[in-house]
Amino acid sequence: MFRYLKIMRWLAIHFPLLALESLAPAESAEPLAITELQGAQQRILVCNSLATELGVAAGMRIGAVRALSAGVRLVARDKQRELAALEAVATWSGTFTSQVSLDPPWGVLLELAGSLRLFGGIDPLLSRLEDGLQALDYRTRLCLAPTPAGAMLLARTDGPGRLVRDRAMLHRSLAEVPLRLLPLQPDRQRALQEIGLERLGDLLQLPMAGLERRLGSGFVRYLQRLLGDVPDPRARFQPPQRFQRRLELPAEVGSSPALLFAARRLLLELAGFLSARRSATQCLEWVLRHSDGGESRFQLRLMLPQHDPAILQSLLQERLEQLRLTAPVRELGLLVRVIEPMPERPLSLLREPGTATLEPLLLERLQARLGEDSLSRVQWVAEHRPERAWRKSTVMVDVSASPEETTPPHFTHGLRRPLWLLPAPEPLRIKEGWPWWRGRLYLEPERERIESGWWDGEPVLRDYFIARAPGGEQLWIYRELQAARRWFLHGFF
């Protein structure tokens, strides 16, 4: 197969059910059909399997559908919605190649000659593409062929996807294509059928000059592009500078956790957008459009730039479980305004001393569940007074911090300090000359003297001790070295 790789270039992706699947995937499906105006009447264009089981079929009139079942949901075809879905797939395809072209109404073309070696050959590349398209909940037919027009026409034919290795094989494959799939006016198709022509191979046996007189130079040019006799340049799809996508839901959603199923496609499309740019993001803006015409928004903020759709979906699930909808949702949107270069940090086998023990993902999940302002990080300050030796920060993960900045001062001149300080020192009762807390406290011989703060009007002069209570607790207490020389409890070990 590999001797043909330089010839096999164009991958056509045909979406036969795009009119239906351009709606957001639904967790609980219902009979659904897409309608369009055909002639003077609205008819069924395509329907899902549940509607098919009820007897609904393409071409059926709306009245006939209603006679079969009143439970079939009918949605008018929206070509703009289909185009938006094609553009989203084209953006996602940037993961595999930068040469992407749209082929409306239901096709995307990828030029893969430069990507085969990167992905280890055609088979691994197609496998990854098919898995990704399936995860996006699209049914597709694929064809890899030497010409873009030939690849797309073959992808639109019934049957499994195929690999067309060279132009000779392309000619043989195209010869079997029915004439009804060609871009011809119905009257011209009927005229060809009346003279006994049914397949493209029958048409290609006729002289090109005669075809040009009967069918026009534009159609003959199309045949030449199919066969590779003339160039077929394709306009390259230009992906957007920022990710902005919305999905119409097939039915109203009244529960926020149920939105996760539809949001999964948006997150996968975002992952492709970011992967093509080797980028990540820290803020996802979600827009909910309600059935009453209103709109609500919320943000999913991350502590580190992220691009993994599985992680983003996990964090979104935490957030949606806490979200209360004001009205049922009819449309879901996602906007990412700012992207950053994908972080590339070497991972060591063993955790380095002084690094945080809580993984960023755990912190992000807590923040998504509890709210953006619910978590804070302790930062140590160069200050001898214990109550002023730290401050809270909303930056939960500081990748630029040195180990000295992230490690608490457990030892000061060889003396221990506790991690648990009281909001304010509590006076201790004195009995028989000794401080008491649930009984007499026994002091260890070491002490730490702190004399500081004379410059800001809040001076302290204290001797700190480690004390043991009768119950075994270790306390951090101090005695004032001025005035009444009172004892205070300041923290616990």
Q: 243-341 maps to which CATH number? A: 3.30.1490.100
Assign 3-class secondary structure to 68-119: HCCCCEEEECCHHHHHHHHHHHHHHHHHCCCCEEEECCCEEEEECCCCCCCC
- DSSP alpha helix (H) spans, 386-425: 403-406
Question: Where is average pLDDT lowest: 57-66, 128-137, 151-160, 402-411?
Answer: 402-411
CB neighbours of 387 closer than 8 A, spacing ≥ 6? 421, 424, 425
Rounded CA-CA distance 265/261 in Å is 8
Residue 226 — pLDDT band, cuts 50, 70, 90? very high
Q: For 156-178, what is the mean pLDDT? A: 86
Question: Where is average pLDDT lowest: 89-93, 105-109, 218-222?
Answer: 218-222
Average pLDDT, the chain: 87
Q: For 321-332, what is the mean pLDDT? A: 92
Q: Which helix (H) or strand (E) segment is 223 a member of? A: helix 217-227
**Got the DSSP string for 416-468?**
E--SEEEEEEEEPEEETTEEESSSB-EEEEEEEEEEE-TTTT--EEEEEEEEE
CB neighbours of 461 closer than 8 A, spacing ≥ 6? 450, 451, 480, 481, 482
Q: Which helix (H) or strand (E) segment is 369 a member of? A: helix 360-370
| Angle, CA of 399, 310 and 100, to the nearest 5° | 100
Residue 285 forms beta bridges with which residues? 299, 335
Q: Read off the tokens for 348.
A: 């060591």
Q: pTM for this structure? A: 0.75
- Comparing 74 with 392, the larger pLDDT belongs to 74
| pLDDT value, residue 411 | 47
Distance of CA 351 to the CA centre of its chain: 29
In the chain, where are the structural domains located?
2-22+78-227, 243-341, 409-492
Superfamily of domain 2-22+78-227: Reverse transcriptase/Diguanylate cyclase domain (3.30.70.270)
Q: For 121-135, what is the mean pLDDT? A: 93
In angstroms, the Cα distances linking 225 to 132, 145, 148, 231, 283 are 30, 12, 8, 6, 45
Residue 347 — pLDDT band, cuts 50, 70, 90? very low
Quick one: DSSP state of residue 357?
S
pLDDT by residue (tens digit) across 291-319? 999 999 999 988 889 999 999 999 999 99
- Measuring CA to CA, which residue among 11, 162, 4, 6 is closest to residue 100? 11
Query: Among all chains, which residue has been given the structure tokens 């998504």?
Result: 368
